[in-house]
Structure 1
């Protein structure tokens, strides 16, 4: 049985090293993508605080896989700080300012789906967050 063309049925395992550094400073391990969305693992080392950013048009869905930390989000008048722990999912709508931090002794790792697929850093813009970034 021959394998289908790579583009017909995509798959990908996370790389050992980051594929990129996100505009917020977190490590990115790129996973699969299709026409309407892409998926990646985001990692913050213990004690790290990301830069606060927002996306112009992207929506993101996050699922925390490991570590502990906090996520600040603000959209218009709505604002919250969530405790991040394995099993929590959260949404980041377009134009939501967000910042996250790793408060535990293990890296904070989250699986994220981005819709539409991530293109480049021009999709992000800086925001004023509650914590001084360390990255």
Structure 2
């Protein structure tokens, strides 16, 4: 059994551009805490093999998701949970006046940054490649 504590400082940046803190990992998945600064729009990406669940803790933002069947934008605010199935293109941004924070669980465990491929999204990114 494991127990962790949220690190004070980010451990890394996601391929899309969010600051991430590693929280938990195991054989079937891993969990991170993600933050997006005010005004930041991250790069649009698509994951090759990883499925994600997100739960928003605080802040306000939007996420665009697109797959072969549909696409749409969801408002992100505290209490909202979304999924990002493998192969779904997505892009997210902070539209609020405070840091956007969310928990992200990936299944299977994140294999490395080569998992994400950059795609065209609806918004111009304000962060470059990592």
How does the TM-score come out when normalised to structure 2? 0.96
Counterpart of 1:50? 42
Displacement after TM superposition at 1:13 (Å): 1.1
SS in 2 for 1:122: helix
Question: Is 2:110 the partner of 1:121?
Answer: no
How does the TM-score come out when normalised to structure 1? 0.92
Counterpart of 2:64? 72
Counterpart of 1:10? 2
Counterpart of 2:87? 95
SS in 2 for 1:64: strand
Displacement after TM superposition at 1:127 (Å): 1.0
Runs (4 or more) in structure 1 with deviation over 4 Å come to: none
The root-mean-square deviation of aligned C-alpha atoms, in Å, is 0.7
Larger Rg: 1
Counterpart of 1:3? none
| Consecutive unaligned residues in structure 1, runs of 5 or more | 1-8
Question: Is 2:109 the partner of 1:109?
Answer: no
Cα distance between partner residues in 2 of 1:33 and 1:50? 24
Question: Is 2:48 the partner of 1:37?
Answer: no
Displacement after TM superposition at 1:77 (Å): 3.0
